[in-house]
């Protein structure tokens, strides 16, 4: 599972050829959430409130890049790195 961004101890990853809907995985310590790209909604798992807020903010800023990376991963190609939240 490639890591596409890291910020404030949060790792953003995507699996190759993952299931729909388009989403990414956010990992913070022992917590993990699966978040949809379009709605920025948690569909599985959880993160602490502050970490989730940071991830949702970051995803809103990088929606187009996330969509492009989703397509790359679906085609089993290496996704591009996305700038961290600063």
pLDDT at 81 exceeding the cut of 90: yes
Alpha carbon separation from 76 to 25, 26, 40, 56 (Å, rounded):
17, 20, 23, 25
State pTM to two decimals.
0.95
Confidence check: pLDDT of 1 > 80: no
**Residue 84 is assigned to a structural domain of this protein:** no
Output the average pLDDT for the chain.
Answer: 96
| Cβ atoms < 10 Å from Cβ of 39 | 11
Q: What is the pLDDT of residue 17?
A: 78
Domain that holds residue 26: 3-74
Q: According to the model, what pLDDT value does residue 18 have? A: 85
| Tens of pLDDT, residues 36-63 | 999 999 999 999 999 999 999 999 999 9
With respect to residue 33, please indicate whether it lies within any of the assigned structural domains: yes
Note whether residue 21 is domain-resident: yes
């Amino acid at each position: 599972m490639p890591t596409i961004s890291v910020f404030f101890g949060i790792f953003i990853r995507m699996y190759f050829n993952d299931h729909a809907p388009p989403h990414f995985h956010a990992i913070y310590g022992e917590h993990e959430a699966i978040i949809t790209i379009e709605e920025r909604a948690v569909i599985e798992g959880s993160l602490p409130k502050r970490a989730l807020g940071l991830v949702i903010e970051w995803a809103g800023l990088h929606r187009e890049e996330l969509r492009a990376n989703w397509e790359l991963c679906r085609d089993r190609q290496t996704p591009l790195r996305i700038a961290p939240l600063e």
